[in-house]
Structure 1
Amino acid sequence: MSFSFIQPALTRRSLLGGIAAGSALVMLHPFAARAAANQAHLRIMETTDIHVNIMPYDYYADKPNDTMGLSRTASFIDQVRAEATNSMLIDNGDLLQGNPMGDYMAYEKGIKAGDLHPVMKAMNALGYDCGTLGNHEFNYGLEFMFNTLNGANFPIVCANLTKGQLASDPKKDDLFFKPYVILEKQIKDGTGSASPVKVGFIGFVPPQIMVWDAKNLEGKAQTRDIVQAAKAWVPVMKEAGADVIIALSHSGIDGSGQSERMENASLYLAAVDGIDAIFTGHQHLVFPGPKDFDGIAGADIKKGTLMGKPAVMAGFWGSHMGLIDLLLEKDGNRWKVVDFTTEARPIYHRDENRKVVADTKDKPEIVAAVKAEHEATLAYVRRPVGKTSAPLYSYFALVADDPSVQIVSNAQIWYVKELLKEGQYKDYPVLSAAAPFKAGGRNGPDYFTDVPAGDIAIKNVADLYLYPNTVQAVLITGAQVKNWLEMSAGMFNQIPAGAKDAALLNTKFPSYNYDVIDGVTYQIDLSQPARFDGDGKLANPDAHRIVDLKFEGKPIDPAQKFVVATNNYRAGGGGKFPEIAGDKVILVAPDTNRDVIVRYIIQQGTINPSADANWSFKPLPGTTAVFESGPKGRQYAAAVKGAKIEEAGDGAEGFAKFRLVL
């Protein structure tokens, strides 16, 4: 059986013509400078995880931000095209959700058939060659996604998203998108002679979208394992004449061993025979680079290879431009890769005072293209909905009960109790699970919620709850409540009693999986190892970090039933919390968690977000631990309830260091 999805390359704006070979402003890549008569330099540029951050503007903080923005990354494009004889531009997914502009377009303005989303306006202006899907493309539903992507002037590929049940042969899957496309591009060799090269692009999305967006996909779609799909389609691409095959993998890098339907499968995808280079994303990290993937077998963080093949992960929100440079050599009538380099080029750096310095300016065409939507988004996020009597901040959300998490739980309990008050679950106690979404980490020292006392606007609510999750509730036992908290406690490293300034936080544990459960009281014993590993598997059966767990002042009854208000991600099994999955769900609400918070604030008029200190660390006399947070948190450190926090100097990359006295 033969498949062919070959199409001519889209009309490109010409490279910056007439750039002098001796120009002081542009330095040709070595491959372009030394290519022989039968060799050609091909540069492929990547953006990934833009999340609607077209402008260098933080809508949550309502101020410019030089660390983000496709309009800034775009300014690199002319430069990096000028450094190369031949180039192509791709996107690796997660375009449509992630900031208030995305919400404004989905909930306020809407995208009908024929409308052009601002993301598509920007990308079309930049002349992308190809793109693939990210998991957040599905957050607003299939109709919104298709109406938006239909505005792209470039092909979108995805080889592992089907319209129904999986076929026995992946090549017989009824796919929503073309699994691959082969673009025929005219390239110039070392003598300036032009000839065509066939570049194949194949795309992949994390299979977990079926859990994360079950409300939008259940009964409508299915996903296949990434590596399995690649093994089926890459030989077809070769048969169809692809000289070079590039994987667009919206999937991260995980060296823990290959498994079925793996979320971060790019390392093992790179091992598929026939793939020449791989663009990765999803994890919001940087590859190649000095730290994010150090120690993973098969990943060379200096050379930028996965399983020996060139690979790049270009950060997030436009923070980097990913570059893979290929030296191609003609072998008869076909081109093959004979050498490569990789780079993740940042749009900013920090000076000796740790201040952000922009390394590029806005591209005027992109700013102009989205001006109307940018201004409409500003008006949208500045709309007030109520007041808060105290500041809302998340600088210490991982080390003490926190006001930004508290208000989410207050709203969830209020909402779920109201929905259940007349039904069969009306007599069950209602708890709430909520996690801090903005807690610094890999997203930087400014990535925290910070709302002063006074008016609360929509931008503040969106800042409290970043994702358009919907409210769900599960019915579980007291024993399962304890295990839920044991899983959350994986956020922390084990700290022996008496240790001095031990590292507190497990940097591999995402903050959105650090659930605090309100409605019970408990302590966390850091001298114990984590009971569960990151996959929710029992790692240390004798370990119990959660101690003194009480409900209404009494030790919790392991058999008692509790309703726990949460979101569709967690209730559906997201985060792999033990025994928390769809079979425990008793309420599937129609409203987003964010809308519930807005309604709660409107109903209250003025909210009191003060944390109730329902959890704390078990005292370990003579023991201290250190952690990093945003430097603006220094003003709140002394007021944190249930924890003694001291300043401990400067941290890395703009963070402040704090000491927790245990």
Structure 2
Amino acid sequence: MVNEVTGEEVLLTQPYRWGATVSQVDFELTKTRGQWDVTEATATALRTRDYPEDPDVLAVTDEAHQATVDYVNQVVATSTEELTTLTSRYSDTPILDFIQQVQTETVDAALGGTEWADLPVLSIAAPFSREAVFPEGDVTIRDIAGLYVFDNTLEAVQMTGAQVRDYLEESASYFTQVPDTGPVDPETITNADGTPDYNYDVLSGVDYDLDVSRPVGERVTRLEIDGEPVADDARFVVAVNNYRRSGGGGFPHVSTAPVVYNEQLEIRQLLIEWAQERGVIDPADFYVENWQLVRNGEPLLD
């Protein structure tokens, strides 16, 4: 990066998330006529796991650390069965629909009495983690935080049917094109061109097929609502997180679509509160199998 005023290079550094690294910045100073100038700046990423814990720091932070541990271990609900994200990248799973349900309910309730109240509410979620699990039985705040690992807030925009289709086409570029015939290992067809899992979005509220034997841009072969094809000029409210709405991931239309809801509510906290209020997480209350990967019109993974 270059300072537009001085024309000099500016050092930028960003440590990795959750304290996995810290940045060490070294400056070389030169004294000229009694004035110190920075003549060189370098940054090094230091992995915190390579350094021993400092007992003085542990002592100062112990109370706050224990309070955090106690908080995340609070039980908020009981799950009727084990739910996992293990296959969420390539198959419809109940645990992502848990996110979709909470987002949909929140936006739908907020839009009551507004000009958008009668529009169908769709919802977008991504498989942030491959290891997230709600165990059968007690579900804690830690479990929910493991499912929704980012501090995103909830927003909603208005989109047309054509825009929703474009959005899904972009999401479907996450998959490598598969051959027309032969066995397919689902573990090998994701992350095309290095696309991270968090940039693969699943959509609820409509039914759709993604034909991953087709080229990118031609994969949405079925897009329906209530058993009827989605018209290009149909209008929807789409619940999204603030990262996606602000353009994160480069998805089409969403960053320029009219915003109809933005109350700055953190999605993770909404999930926690939904679970606490009901006390039970039961897929029968929210799981809808609405999408699948196909090849030549037939389910790819059945």
Instruction: Name the TM-score, length of structure 2 as normaliser.
Output: 0.82
Residue in 1 that maps onto 2:145: 462
Give the counterpart of 2:210 among 518, 524, 531.
Answer: 524
Is the contact between residue 213 and residue 295 of structure 2 (CA under 8 Å) also seen in structure 1?
no
Structure 1 position 614 matched with structure 2 position 299: no
Structure 1 position 496 matched with structure 2 position 269: no
Is the contact between residue 498 and residue 620 of structure 1 (CA under 8 Å) also seen in structure 2?
no
SS at match of 1:618: strand
SS at match of 2:101: helix
Distance in 1 (CA, whole Å) between partners of 2:18 and 2:262 is: 31
Distance in 1 (CA, whole Å) between partners of 2:279 and 2:107 is: 19
Give the counterpart of 2:241 among 558, 564, 567.
Answer: 567
Give the counterpart of 1:513 among 185, 199, 217.
Answer: 199
In the TM superposition, residue 317 of structure 1 has moved relative to its aligned partner by: 3.7
Is the contact between residue 152 and residue 243 of structure 2 (CA under 8 Å) also seen in structure 1?
yes
Residue in 2 that maps onto 1:475: 158
Encode CA deviations 1:617-644: one digit per residue, 9 max, x unaligned.
113699xxxxxxxxxxxxxxxxxxx874
Larger RCO of the pair (alpha carbons < 8 Å, separation 6+): 2
In the TM superposition, residue 422 of structure 1 has moved relative to its aligned partner by: 2.5
Structure 1 position 393 matched with structure 2 position 166: no
1:643–1:470 distance in 2 versus 1, CA, 3 Å: same
In the TM superposition, residue 369 of structure 1 has moved relative to its aligned partner by: 2.2
Give the counterpart of 1:370 among 58, 61, 76.
Answer: 61
Question: Which runs of no fewer than 5 residues in structure 2 stay unpaired?
Answer: none
Distance in 2 (CA, whole Å) between partners of 1:345 and 1:459 is: 27
In the TM superposition, residue 410 of structure 1 has moved relative to its aligned partner by: 0.7
Is the contact between residue 133 and residue 147 of structure 2 (CA under 8 Å) also seen in structure 1?
no
In the TM superposition, residue 336 of structure 1 has moved relative to its aligned partner by: 6.8
| 1:496 aligned partner, one-letter code | P
Residue in 2 that maps onto 1:103: none
Is the contact between residue 400 and residue 613 of structure 1 (CA under 8 Å) also seen in structure 2?
no
Matches within 5 A, 1:263-412: 280-281=13-14, 315-320=16-21, 346=47, 360-412=51-103
In the TM superposition, residue 411 of structure 1 has moved relative to its aligned partner by: 0.8
| 2:135 aligned partner, one-letter code | P
1:592–1:331 distance in 2 versus 1, CA, 3 Å: closer
SS at match of 1:232: coil
SS at match of 1:387: strand
1:582–1:373 distance in 2 versus 1, CA, 3 Å: farther
1:345–1:391 distance in 2 versus 1, CA, 3 Å: same
Instruction: Name the TM-score, length of structure 1 as normaliser.
Output: 0.40
Is the contact between residue 104 and residue 239 of structure 2 (CA under 8 Å) also seen in structure 1?
yes
Give the counterpart of 1:595 among 269, 278, 285.
Answer: 269
Distance in 1 (CA, whole Å) between partners of 2:111 and 2:29 is: 68
Encode CA deviations 1:506-554: one digit per residue, 9 max, x unaligned.
26223222111111111111122322xxxxxxxxxxxx11111111122
In the TM superposition, residue 395 of structure 1 has moved relative to its aligned partner by: 1.7
In the TM superposition, residue 324 of structure 1 has moved relative to its aligned partner by: 8.3
In the TM superposition, residue 438 of structure 1 has moved relative to its aligned partner by: 1.8
Distance in 1 (CA, whole Å) between partners of 2:234 and 2:240 is: 19
SS at match of 2:295: coil
SS at match of 1:386: strand
Is the contact between residue 159 and residue 257 of structure 2 (CA under 8 Å) also seen in structure 1?
no
In the TM superposition, residue 389 of structure 1 has moved relative to its aligned partner by: 1.3
SS at match of 1:474: strand
Residue in 1 that maps onto 2:167: 484
Matches within 5 A, 1:38-437: 226-227=1-2, 230-233=3-6, 235=8, 247-249=10-12, 280-281=13-14, 315-320=16-21, 346=47, 360-437=51-128
| 1:469 aligned partner, one-letter code | N
Encode CA deviations 1:408-463: one digit per residue, 9 max, x unaligned.
00111112222223222222111111112224xxxxxxxx2122022222222222
Encode CA deviations 1:315-348: one digit per residue, 9 max, x unaligned.
544445667899x8999999977xx999766566
Percent identity between matched residues is: 31
Is the contact between residue 122 and residue 239 of structure 2 (CA under 8 Å) also seen in structure 1?
yes
Q: Which has the larger radius of gyration?
A: 1
